[in-house]
Structures are given as structure tokens and as C-alpha cells.
Amino acid sequence: MEFSHSLISWYNRSKRDLPWRTTNDPYRIWVSEIILQQTRVQQGLSYYNRFIEKFPDIQTLAGADENEVLKVWEGLGYYSRARNMLIAARQISSGHGGLFPSTYDDLLTLSGIGDYTAAAITSIAYGLPYPVIDGNVKRVVSRLLGIRGRLDMQENRKILSVFLQENIDKEDPGTFNQAVMELGALVCKPSLPDCGLCPLSVSCVAYKSGLTHLIPFRKEQTVKVELYRDYFVILSGVEDDRQLLISRSSGSGIWKGLFGFPYRESSGSFPDAGELKHFLLSLLPLRKVRHVSIADNAYRHVLSHRIIHARFHFIEATGLNADPETAYPVHLNSIHQYPFPRLLKRFMEEHPEMFVKKIASERGTKSDFRD
């Protein structure tokens, strides 16, 4: 219990003031936990506030359109999380009478909720003693116990789990869980941990042995695949009747359900002009192409398992044919309604003469494409 007491005392003195820490509402705790998975708190805070403002409760979210949810999520990445939240909200609405489940096992039946999220919700909202085990927690405990080797090994996973189950504060498991995560985020950081500020340093094996730089064991980084994309920004019309050709990503990719521009993807390098012309002809008859230019800069967009190099080609056309199977035209002033991936959002931000001013005239703001 000394471990738990020291940890919680430190947390009560040092914790950050965050909105999801002032509520026991399981819906808001769930929203915060999903947003903060693989997202820094500083970035996640604005998305949390935006999400709660748009969808203040489970019923509002359950009745939302997928495009609405993805638009609020736009730029945050890992869009499957947002789609799973919408599915889970509908599951709660239809299968649980609109009431958020209060048991660990019931939570696990919801789309997108695994052991970590179920433990966080049940401990913080309902006071049930389920320990959370995320990256921060693994780092704190592995250093405290001096665990060497990979933490994905079954033996080491069991050591972590048993230790947390035995030491979690049964009276206040929610605060305990948040305290371990907060310690990992603020003090027991991956590089250069602030061991002098740590309430656990007196019993930390890694600190006393000078091994904090080796524990936890770091896996070799995955080699990222490099892809080369030529995007075609195809416009038609004049002034208030400008149209833009967009497409919607389908399949099971990370950008599923998001909108973008037609593109040609290559590996190794960008293709030559002949290949691009052939692709463009598959979208538009040559007689409809009035002017072609290319953006000054290529873009580099880093994802978890790939790096996308992107070029953008501006196409002025005399008319756009609707083809929902590939791409279809929309009014330029309405593009703020569609969710785009961060790469394309960044491109549009950097070309306000084409995009932002159009939206500003309609909505009275120039911040529609900014996080």
C-alpha cells in the first residue's frame, strides 16, 4: 500500500487540470480515453472539447451521420477510432437502452473497446478495481521492477499484470490508474526521465541500477514503406459556381470514409508525365482539360507504417462529369462539410487563395482547415 499511497499523494499535488478528470460520466471518460490513445494531451484537449460540444451525450452521437463524426475528428488520425465510437454509440442506444454499460464484460462487447479502455472506464466512472495497462504504465512498472527484455513477452506481461492487480488502490482505483499514467507522461518519460521528482525513485530498480535508458526494452522500429502520390485538384466553373472533383476513400485503409482528390499512387519514385497523362485521361476527356500546372512544393506525410510523398496538380476543366464510382463534383464553397485527411488539409491550408477564402466568404472565418 505504500506504493499506492506515494503515487496518489504525488498525483494529487502534480496532476494536470483536465476536463475529463472533473467528471464521473462514463461517456465523457470514454471519449477522452479514445481520443488520447496515440494522441498527446495538448492536441487531444481541443479535440475532446470539440467532440463534447458537438456530441454532448451518447444519444446525440448515436444519431449522428458518419461524415459529421469524421469531420469533428478531422486531422486527429486513426479514423477507425471515430468510426468505432459511432458504432458503439449505436450499440448502446439499441442494446442497452441508451445507458452506458457499467460492467467490464459488457464494455468489451462494444466496438473499439478493449481491455485498456474497459479498465479505464470501469475504474474511473464506477470505482471497480481494474488496472489499466498502457505504454506509460508499462514504462513506469517495468522500470520500478527492473524488468529486462521485451514487454510483449507473455512472462513479462504477466509480471506487470499481477503487480498492478495486487497494488491497485481498491478504495480509489480510478485515481490510482490516472496517477500511474500521469507519472509516465510527466516524470517517467521514455527519454531523460525526471527521476529526482519521482515519488517511487527510492524503490525503483532501474533508477538505482542506472538502467533507465535500457528499460523498458525498445523494439526495433518497423521499416516504413514509401509511397508516391500525384493528386489531381480538378476545378471547373467561375467565381460563385466553382466545382471541385473529389473522391471518397473506401475499403479498409486508414483513411476509409474520408474525402480527397483523385490520385495516382506509385512506389519508388514519382511517375513520368506520360503515365500521369494516361491517368488523367481516365478521369476527364482531353478536350475538357483547359490548363494544367503543378504546386511548387512536394509534401512528405509520415504515418505509422508508411511515408507518403505527394505532389499536387491543378487542373482547369471546362466541365466535370459525375461518376460516384470514382470521383464526383461538389461546389467549392461546400468542401468544409467534408472530412479530409491531414495531408490534404495541410495542402488546402497552404493554398488559401483557392480554398480558405472561398469558405471564409460563406462562414465568416479563415480557420476551417486548422486544428
Q: Which residues are catalytic?
A: 33
Q: How far is CA 195 from CA 102, 139, 181, 367, 369, in A?
A: 37, 13, 16, 41, 40
**CA 222 to CA 99: how far, in whole Å?**
41
**CA 128 to CA 70: how far, in whole Å?**
32
Write out the DSSP string of 227-274.
Answer: EEEEEEEEEES-GGG-EEEEEE--TTSTTTT-EE--EEEEESSPPPHH
Please provide the distance, in angstroms rounded to a whole number, between the alpha carbons at the two ends of the chain: 43
**CA 158 to CA 359: how far, in whole Å?**
54
Length of the chain: 371
- Grid coordinates in use for 14? 502534480
CB 8 within 8 A of CB 172: yes
**CA 222 to CA 71: how far, in whole Å?**
30
Q: Where are the beta strands (DSSP E) in 121-163?
A: none
Of 309, 342, 310, nearest to 78 by C-alpha is: 342
How many C-beta atoms lie closer than 10 Å to residue 175's C-beta? 21
The residues, ordered by sequence, that sit 6+ positions from 56 with a Cβ below 8 Å of its Cβ are none
CB 204 within 8 A of CB 216: no
Whole-angstrom Cα Rg for the chain:
25
The residues, ordered by sequence, that sit 6+ positions from 318 with a Cβ below 8 Å of its Cβ are 236, 287, 288, 290
Which H or E run includes 329?
A: strand 328-331
The three-class DSSP label of residue 133 is coil
**Which amino acid, 288?**
K
- Grid coordinates in use for 93? 442506444
